[in-house]
Every structure is written in C-alpha cells, then in structure tokens.
A and B are shown apart, each in its own frame.
Chain A
Amino acid sequence: MDFALTEEQSMLRDSLRRYVEKEYAFEARRQLIEQAGGFRRAHWNAYAEMGWLGIGLPEASGGFGGDLSDSAILLEEFGRGLVVEPYAASHIQASRLLLHSGDARAAELIEALIAGSTLYAVAHNEPGARGRSLWVETRAAATGGGSRISGTKTQVLAAPSADRFLVSARSEQGLSLFLIDRDTPGMSLREYRLVDGSQAADLSFDQLLLPESALLGAAGKADSAIDLAISAATIACCAEMVGAMEQALWITRDYLRTRKQFGVAIGSFQALQHRMADMYIALEQARSMLYRGLAYAEDGDAIRRRGAVSASKAQVGRSAQYIAAQAVQLHGGIGLTNEYCIGHYFKRLLVLEAAYGSSAYHVGVVAQQLRDAA
C-alpha cells in the first residue's frame, strides 16, 4: 500500500484549493445559491478549461487517464469548500454510465462531457428506492422504432441546468438507459433547491415518446452500467464528505482556540478537548474507509464491490453525522446561524449522507451480505 500523493496529485490539489477558496468564498457561495439557483454553468466551463472534467477518464476518449483516486482528490477539495455543483452525479456517475453503456457513440459523448459542452443530469433515483441501486419503476415500452416511457424520477441534481438527461427505465427485457435532450416536448420538471442550496428537480414522464436514437446501449442490458456508475458515485460522495468533515473539524478547532468564556479559551476545557479528539478519530476512520472504497469502487466482482462500497458509505456517513453535529454544538449559538459557515457544513453533510443511500441503508446491505454468505 502507498497512501502518499504523487507530485502531480499534490499540484492538482493545490490548484483546486485555490480555485475553490476563491469561487466559493462565503459571500460568493451565498450569491451562487440565492441568485444563481445553486448552479453556475461558468463554473462547470471553468472545470472543463482546467482539465478537471478529464480526470480519471480514459485517454482514448480525451481523458487524462488515472482512476477514481484522482477524482477523489478533486472531490475532497470540493467538499472542503462546499461546492454545490454536483460533480459526483453529473460527472462521475454520468461518465461511468456512458463508459459502460456499450454504445457505439460512447467515446464521442464522453468527449463532449470532458469538454464541458454537454452537461448531464442523471435521472435514475426514484421515490421508492431509498438507496437501492437498481430500483426502477419507470416503464419503457417499445413502439415502432422508438420507445414510450412513463414514471417519476426524484431529486435529479442539476436538472434545471442540464443539457441532457440520462434516464433509466424498465421494460420486459430489463433495465435500459435513455439519452433525453432537455427540450424534448412532453418532459415535465418540478424544480427546487435542497436544504444545502443545491439544485434539483423531479422529472415526470407520461407516455413520453422517444426516437430509437435515444436508447443508450442495448435495450434491457443497462444493469451493470448503472450499478458500476452508482458505486463510483457513492465513493465520490464519500470523498466529498471526508473533505467537508475535515474542514468542519479544523474550523471548529480554530474557533475553540479563540472563543473565550470564563476567562479562558473554551478549547482549554477538557470535555471539549475529548470531544474534538473523538471527532478526529471519526474523521480518520472515515478517511480509511474512503481509501478502502476507492480500492474496490470499480472492481468487476459486483458482490465484492457492493460490499466494499456499502461499508465505506456506512462508516463515512456515521462519522459525518457525528462530526457535523458536534461541530455545531461546540460553536454554541453561532453554529446555528445562516451567517456563519459551520451550519452550511452541517446541511451539506446531511444531504451527502442521504445521497446514494444513507448509512443506515448501507449497514443493512453489509448485514444482508453476511446473511447471504452464511
């Protein structure tokens, strides 16, 4: 094992940090959420210009090679700075869906994704799924050359800004993926923001007619692409959470050094020192499980991959809940205001904890695997 970053990776991290600190400074981020609705295409274009949309993708499609560990460096920095644009969904998950789709157009589509010229929203999650990666009730029926789809997708991140949607639907043949342009007539979007300011929509399709070209890959054969994409996105989400909780921890440490009550820095109270030590332990446990998850996130053995991914999300989610709650607690009242950063870490971590299945859900997956193996 080797946990050290290469020189290139350190440089990448430094440039990410500089960019995020500037573009997502407290006031800039507030405006991004309140005035720009939680998504700026200019940011996405900047990611493309800086090459950040090519990280971890094959050179053959215009990517820079490397793997999910490289993307994790970016995601940690995005987490640290509370970036609200959904890189895990619109980049990691979308790129894997294209990559594993088996579609002849995949390389070309990935090229446009890397260039930032197509922004994807992944419309896969449904109200009843609650973390289940292959839970799809949206129906697809073949008609003439094309298909008709009906169903509801929920909390589709970046949907209000996306150029195209990657939509999953089920037919007699199994799960299929469709590529739907945003201006397709008959699509209905209900747009809203989540509690962390990120942008989402619910999509509903009522007998939406799609041409044959909308089908991505072979009909009924999308299970494995969907599952692989979710594994990668879940671990990407873990990386973002580790970045966010680490930053929340150090912000709290700094506050405890400066805030005075009873004539001393509150950080001198041993009760609070022990709390911070517990937070630090939770952080290190989360980071270790992120690394373990990265090792298996793209493993071809589905059982092994799912077990590792669930174990990671379970640990990272638990650590995040603890660190977020204690970061607020140790700040006292100031931790509760919208005008101070720590509450925004709390809200962001809540949303990420729920994304791709909560820790309670993923502990259940690990438990189920124990049972299956017995």
Chain B
Amino acid sequence: MDLRFTDEENAFREEVRSFIRENLPKPVHAKMLEHRALSKDEVVSWQRILNARGWATPSWPAAWGGPGWTAVQRYIFLDELHQFPAPEPVSFNVSMIGPVIGTFGSDEQKARLLPRIANLDDWWCQGFSEPGAGSDLAALSTSAIRHGDHYVVNGTKMWQGMGHRADWMFTLVRTDPAAKKQAGISFLLIDMKSPGLSVQPIITIDGRHEVNSVFLDNVRVPVAQRVYLENKGWDVAKFLLGNERTGIARIGMSKYLIRRAKQIAAQVQDGDRTLAEDAGFRRRCAEIEVELKALEITQMRVLAAMGEHAEKPDPRSSILKIKGVELRQAASELLLRAAGPLALAAEGEYDPPNPEDAPADTEWGSTIAPVYFILRAASIYGGATEVQKNILAQAVLGLPK
C-alpha cells in the first residue's frame, strides 16, 4: 500500500491548478465563485480552452483522442476544477455520449462525432426519462417505428438538462413494443432541429431554467443515427449509466461550498462577534469535513479496484453517489446557515439599485438559496439515493430482491 499521493501526482495537481488559474476567464470565475448561472458561450469557450490543451475529455483513452489519464489523475483534475471553482466539461458530451460512441459507435460515427463532442461543436442532451419512466427507466414508452431507412418517433421525454441549448439528443426509444421491457429498446441520436421536435422549459424551484420537456411528434430519424443494434439499446444505456465514475462524488464541490461558508462566516455579524466564532457553526463544519475526508479515500479505493470504462460498474460506487450527494447537500446547508437571512431574498430581487449604498454583504446573498434548492435534485437524478441503496443491499450485501 502507498497511502499518499505520489510526487508525480502532486506535481500533476500543481500543473492543473496553474493551468486553470492562468486560463479560466475572470468573469467566468467570478460567476462560479458566486454560484451564478453561466451563459452557453461561457461554457463553450472554456471547454474549448481545455480541449486545446487536450484536457476536455478526462476519462477518454488516447485512442478516442483523450489524455489517457489514470483514475487518480482524472480524480485530481476534476477535484481541482471543482475547488477552484471552474466549470467541468459538459458531462452529457464528455461523460455520457462520448464513451458510448467510443465503445458502441461505428467507425464512421467515431470519426465524425468524437472530435465534435470533445470540442462542444455539438451540445448534447440526455433524452432518457419520461413522465412515466424515471427510476423505472425501462418502462419508457416513446416509440420508434421503422419505415425503410427512417424511424418515426413519437412520445414525450422529460427533464432534459440544458435541452434548450442542445444541438443533439441521445435517447432511448421503444422499437419492439411486443418484447419485454428492456428487450425492445434502441439507442437513437436525434437532431434537435428535426421537424416535429419541440422543447418546453421546466422552471425549477430555484427559479432557473435548466431542464425541459421534449415532445416528439412524428419525428423522422435516419436509421444510420442508431447506435449499436436494434433492440439492444438497453446494453448501451446500462453502460452509460454505470460509466460516470470518476468524480461522481464531486468532493471538490463540497469543499468549495464549505470554503465559501467559512469565508462568509468570518465576515457576517452574529451579535457581538462574527459567526465564525460560534462553536456550533464550527462543529458542524468539522463534522462535514471529517466525512468528506473519509469519502475521498473511499473514492480512491473504489477507483483503484476498477478498470477504465469497465464492462460492469462496481456496485460499491453507489456509496460514492449516495454519500457524495449527502455531503454536498450538507455543505449547501452550511452555506445557507452562514448567509442566514441574507440568503432568503429571491434571486434577482435583491440586486441593489445603487451598489454603493447597499450594505456591503448583501449583494451575493440571493444566489445561495438556489444552490441549496437545486441540490435537492442531486439525490434524485443519476439513480436516486433509494435506488442506490437497493443496489448496495442486493448487489453488494447479497440480500434477497
């Protein structure tokens, strides 16, 4: 055993950190520091900066044009992005559709799509969930009926993150209605500009627009845009869902939320002292930090035991998802506690008419509650906490189904 990072790994961390420091545009960093939403252009240009350095696709092997990093390097890279904080490369592209094309795509699909995915020339969204198919994804009912060299697709997809920005959607459709659940599903790539496809915003409780419904009304999709075999889409989906491993716990994000909570606590008044002097606040910080340290090592242990893009995901990675989200939520609660009443104004309503006159510490308050609100979703998407616990109980502990 070697229980510390090696010198090379530490040097790599330094290299990543100074690259981010030197290359992340200042306005983007300023927004990230205050949890503000980024524009499409900001996300795209940052990903292109990373891509020019060969770092936009941390989990890709060299054969796909990726950096071919070890699991530890991938972890360090994301950890540095999260802590800085800088945006991570768009996960729909880099962690989801990219590895699918690299693994299941035809040579033509690989050559055409992988470079565009990495450079964010095409922005992808994930069209899996439906109103009636969430945790039970295989219950999906969007249908694709083949007419010669096209499928005609009908149905409703729901919860498409950034669907309004997307150029393409990868989606699961039912190509064989007679087959049992998982057996009749295919994996299709759909151009968001296709006639009959429409996108409708869903506003979430943080007041922001990130997710959408996507309606498919007789949308024609060329058969060449199917990935892998007809009716074998579930294999692709399982691979994709089990794939997002490195950085799943997003420990660096929790670290940043705690850092910000401490900064605020050191500034805000709590009676005749600052909040940082409150023993209860410090204790809560410590509790979360201890658990985060444990999770960081658990993550390294799970990564060490796992190959790259393993055929079968390690069921223990459910620990990373469950605990990672729990701690991010706890860190956001701590941030909310630090900001106190300053966090309760609705976003956009508290922008001071004259910043000079405003109490110095109020402008930032209203972007904090939205972080807390939207993090409630993290224990629901990507395999809800309850579903992950079922996996641990059954696949790891061997309890009966």
Which residues on A are within 8 Å of B, measured CB to CB? 125, 127-130, 132, 135, 152, 154-155, 190, 192-195, 197, 200, 202, 260-263, 269, 271-272, 325, 328-329, 332-333, 335-339, 343-344, 346-347, 350-351, 354, 358, 360, 363-364
Interface CB pairs A-B, < 8 A, 20: A127-B342, A127-B359, A135-B271, A155-B344, A190-B353, A193-B349, A195-B373, A200-B345, A261-B135, A262-B135, A262-B139, A333-B159, A336-B374, A337-B202, A338-B204, A339-B202, A339-B203, A344-B205, A358-B340, A360-B281
Bound CA–CA A193/B337 (angstroms): 19
Query: Which residues in B have their C-beta under 8 angstroms from that of A193?
Result: 345-346, 349
CB pair A333–B377 under 8 Å, yes or no, is yes
- Taking residues whose C-beta sits less than 8 angstroms from the other chain, chain B's interface range is 35 or more
CB pair B345–A336 under 8 Å, yes or no, is no
CB pair B376–A329 under 8 Å, yes or no, is yes
**Given A129-B271, A130-B270, A336-B376, A354–B341 Cβ distance below 8 Å?**
yes
Query: Which residues in B have their C-beta under 8 angstroms from that of A358?
Result: 337, 340
**Given A127-B359, A271-B389, A358-B337, A261–B377 Cβ distance below 8 Å?**
no
Bound CA–CA A195/B207 (angstroms): 9
**Given A193-B345, A343-B205, A363-B280, A354–B376 Cβ distance below 8 Å?**
no
Contact of B359 among A152, A272, A325, A339 (CB under 8 A): A152
Contacting residues of chain B (161-180) with chain A, CB-CB under 8 angstroms = none
Bound CA–CA A350/B269 (angstroms): 21
CB pair B337–A360 under 8 Å, yes or no, is yes
**Given A192-B349, A337-B202, A339-B203, A350–B369 Cβ distance below 8 Å?**
yes
> How many Å from the CB of A227 to the closest CB on chain B?
16
> How many Å from the CB of A282 to the closest CB on chain B?
17
CB pair B203–A154 under 8 Å, yes or no, is no
CB pair B275–A192 under 8 Å, yes or no, is no
Bound CA–CA A332/B379 (angstroms): 9
CB pair B377–A338 under 8 Å, yes or no, is no
CB pair A130–B271 under 8 Å, yes or no, is yes
Contacting residues of chain B (191-237) with chain A, CB-CB under 8 angstroms = 202-205, 207
Cβ-closest 3 pairs across A and B: A128-B269, A343-B205, A261-B136
Contact of A346 among B205, B278, B380 (CB under 8 A): B205
> How many Å from the CB of B206 to the closest CB on chain A?
9
Residue with the highest number of chain A CB atoms closer than 10 Å, among B281, B376, B379: B376
Query: Which residues in B have their C-beta under 8 angstroms from that of A132?
Result: 271
Quick one: closest A residue to B372, CB to CB? A350
Quick one: closest B residue to A125, CB to CB? B341
Query: Which residues in B have their C-beta under 8 angstroms from that of A344?
Result: 205
> How many Å from the CB of A334 to the closest CB on chain B?
9
Contacting residues of chain B (234-288) with chain A, CB-CB under 8 angstroms = 268-271, 275, 278, 280-281, 284
